[in-house]
Amino acid sequence: MKETKETRIGRVENNDAFIIGTIEQSFVTGEIAGETFYATRVLTERTSGYEDKINVLIPEKILSSNITVGKKIKIKGEFQSENIKDDDGNSHLLLYFFVKEVEIAKKFAVDKNNICLNAYICKPTVYRKTPLGREITDMMVAVHRPDGESDYIPCIAWNITARRLSGLKPGGRIRIVGRMQSREYFKTLPNGDKEKRVAYEVSIKRAFLEEM
């Protein structure tokens, strides 16, 4: 789908995310560059009934005492990434929702999970089919921050959108509208054992390509 006047890159923030969901975990306190943050996880339900489990990072300066485990909250911010190493020295991408605004949601508020990214394709897209014939395209995009750093975010598209995005090359600009999602999978370890893990990505609902 081509970029239009209404969807032109630069008209909105590069990384604009919004969630209404329930706090699942107790807060874990940490410090980054002298500032205190609280990490937790928020559950947000899809229309199918499946719950996405999104890692959340909230600055202490915007966190009020009434925001506790079990409360439904409304948060705005960015879906960010950090490249970290595990105990074996292997690198992997940590994805989390960096909160800029937070408040208690209304009592009967419906869960929501929306994200809009203005990004660059940074790896060749990978098109595949599931054993049941469902079409999928995996892609990695880079989203620039105002400070010059970039967040690297894996994305996944389905069926017609997957076909449209298959074969795209690195360097192209793209606007993505979708949701943040968690997905459980099993990784086979060197000893043959299987370990359950959770992958985080953006599920693409709509994508707009900007002509170069």
Tens of pLDDT, residues 86-140: 766 677 889 999 999 999 999 889 999 999 999 999 999 999 999 999 999 999 9
β partners of residue 181: 201
Residue 5 placed within a domain: no
Same domain, 74 and 89: yes
Give the tokens for residue 199.
Answer: 């992958």
Q: Tell me, yes or no, whether 8 lies in a domain.
A: no
Pairing of strands 112-121, 135-144: antiparallel
Same domain, 23 and 92: yes
The alpha carbon of residue 47 and the mean position of all alpha carbons in its chain are separated, in whole angstroms, by: 18
Report how far residue 1's alpha carbon sits from residue 65's, in angstroms, rounded to the nearest whole number. Answer: 45
Has residue 141 been placed in a domain? yes
Better-scored residue on pLDDT, 198 or 25: 25
Structural domain containing residue 149: 115-209
Domain check: are 173 and 132 in the same one? yes
- Tell me, what's the pLDDT at 87? 67
Question: Considering all CA atoms of the chain, what is the largest pairwise distance in Å, rounded to the nearest integer?
Answer: 54
State residue 189's pLDDT score: 78
pLDDT band at 210 (very low <50, low <70, confident <90, very high): confident
Question: For the chain, what is the domain count?
Answer: 2
* Residue that finishes a domain, picked among 56, 84, 111: 111
Question: Do the domain assignments include residue 3?
Answer: no
Confidence of residue 4 (pLDDT cuts 50, 70, 90): very low
How far is the C-alpha of 87 from the C-alpha of 24, rounded, in Å? 26
pTM of the model: 0.87
